[in-house]
Amino acid sequence: MLNLRFDNTFVRELPGDPQPGNRRRQVHGALFSRVEPTPVAAPRLVAHSPEVAALLDIPEDTVRSRRFAEVFGGNALVEGMQPYAANYGGHQFGNWAGQLGDGRAISLGETINSRGERWELQLKGAGATPYARSADGRAVLRSSIREFLCSEAMFHLGVPTTRALSLVATGELVERDMFYDGRPRMEPGAVVCRVAPSFIRFGNFELPASRGDHGLLDRLIDFTIRRDFPELDSRRGLPSSAIAGGGNDRLRGVDGTVRAEWFAQVCERTAVMVAHWMRVGFVHGVMNTDNMSILGLTIDYGPYGWIDNFDLDWTPNTTDAGSRRYRFGYQPQVAHWNLGRLASAIAPSFGSLEPLHAGMARFEKAFIEADGRNMAAKLGLAALGPGDEALVEALHALLAAAQMDMTIFFRALARLDLANPATTPFGEAFYDEAKRRELEPALMSWLRRYAERARCGGLAPERRVQAMNAANPKYVLRNYLAQQAIDRAAEGDPEGIHELLDVMRRPYDEQPGREAFAARRPEWARDRAGCSMLSCSS
**In angstroms, what is the minimal distance from the CB of 107 to Mg ion?**
14
> What are the helix (H) ranges across 81-167?
141-157
Count of CA atoms in the C-beta half-sphere (13 A) of 440: 14
Binding mask 245-284 for Mg ion (x = CB under 5 A): ----------------------------------------
Binding mask 299-328 for Mg ion (x = CB under 5 A): -x----------------------------
**In angstroms, what is the minimal distance from the CB of 126 to Mg ion?**
15
Active site residue 249: no
CA–CA separation, 404 vs 413, rounded Å?
13
Q: Say how far residue 324 (Cα) sits from the centre of its chain.
A: 19
Q: At what angle do helices 479-490 and 495-504 cross, to 10 degrees?
A: 150
Give the residue closest to ligand AMP by C-beta: 103
CA–CA separation, 380 vs 369, rounded Å?
16
Q: Is 404 helix (H, G, I), strand (E, B) or coil?
A: strand
| Cβ closest to ligand AMP, residue 139 vs residue 482 | 139
| Cβ closest to Mg ion, residue 284 vs residue 378 | 284
Given Mg ion, ligand AMP, none, residue 198, with its beta carbon under 5 to 8 Å by kind, binds none
**In angstroms, what is the minimal distance from the CB of 89 to ligand AMP?**
9
- In degrees, rounded to 5, the angle at the alpha carbon of residue 106 between the alpha carbons of residues 104 and 112 is 155
| Torsion angle in degrees (nearest 10) through CA of 358, 359, 362, 363 | -140
Given Mg ion, ligand AMP, none, residue 102, with its beta carbon under 5 to 8 Å by kind, binds ligand AMP
Given Mg ion, ligand AMP, none, residue 100, with its beta carbon under 5 to 8 Å by kind, binds ligand AMP
Given ligand AMP, Mg ion, none, residue 340, with its beta carbon under 5 to 8 Å by kind, binds none
Paired residues of 89 in beta bridges: 99
| Cβ closest to ligand AMP, residue 50 vs residue 171 | 171
Given ligand AMP, Mg ion, none, residue 104, with its beta carbon under 5 to 8 Å by kind, binds ligand AMP
Check residue 262 and give left, alpha or beta (phi > 0: left; psi -120 to 50: alpha). Answer: alpha
CB 394 within 8 A of CB 401: no
Q: Which amino acid does the sequence have at 263? A: F
Q: Which amino acid does the sequence have at 178? A: M
**In angstroms, what is the minimal distance from the CB of 122 to ligand AMP?**
11
Given ligand AMP, Mg ion, none, residue 132, with its beta carbon under 5 to 8 Å by kind, binds ligand AMP
Q: Could you say whether residue 291 binds Mg ion (CB under 5 A)?
A: yes
| Cβ closest to ligand AMP, residue 203 vs residue 473 | 203
| Cβ closest to ligand AMP, residue 120 vs residue 308 | 120
**In angstroms, what is the minimal distance from the CB of 351 to ligand AMP?**
32
| Cβ closest to ligand AMP, residue 323 vs residue 424 | 323
Q: Which of 218, 228, 290, 308 is catalytic?
A: 290
| Cβ closest to Mg ion, residue 286 vs residue 477 | 286
**In angstroms, what is the minimal distance from the CB of 268 to Mg ion?**
23
Q: Where are the beta strands (DSSP E) in 248-398?
A: 282-283, 305-306
Burial class (CB in 10 A: 0-12, 13-18, 19+), 324: middle
**In angstroms, what is the minimal distance from the CB of 139 to Mg ion?**
12
Given Mg ion, ligand AMP, none, residue 136, with its beta carbon under 5 to 8 Å by kind, binds ligand AMP
| Cβ closest to Mg ion, residue 161 vs residue 407 | 161
CB 316 within 8 A of CB 303: yes
Q: Which amino acid does the sequence have at 108? A: L
Scanning 69-77, 297-305, 391-399, 522-530 for contacts with Mg ion by CB under 5 A, the matching segment is 297-305
Contacts of 521 (CB under 8 A, 6+ apart): 308, 309, 405, 431, 478, 479, 480, 531
Given Mg ion, ligand AMP, none, residue 130, with its beta carbon under 5 to 8 Å by kind, binds none
| Torsion angle in degrees (nearest 10) through CA of 310, 315, 316, 318 | -150
Contacts of 233 (CB under 8 A, 6+ apart): 225, 226, 240, 243, 254, 258
Q: Which residues bind ligand AMP (CB under 6 A)?
A: 100-105, 131-132, 135-138, 286, 290-291, 300, 302, 536
**In angstroms, what is the minimal distance from the CB of 124 to ligand AMP?**
9
Contacts of 527 (CB under 8 A, 6+ apart): none
CB 333 within 8 A of CB 179: no
Q: Which positions lie near Mg ion, rule CB under 5 A? A: 291, 300
Which residue numbers are catalytic?
Answer: 290
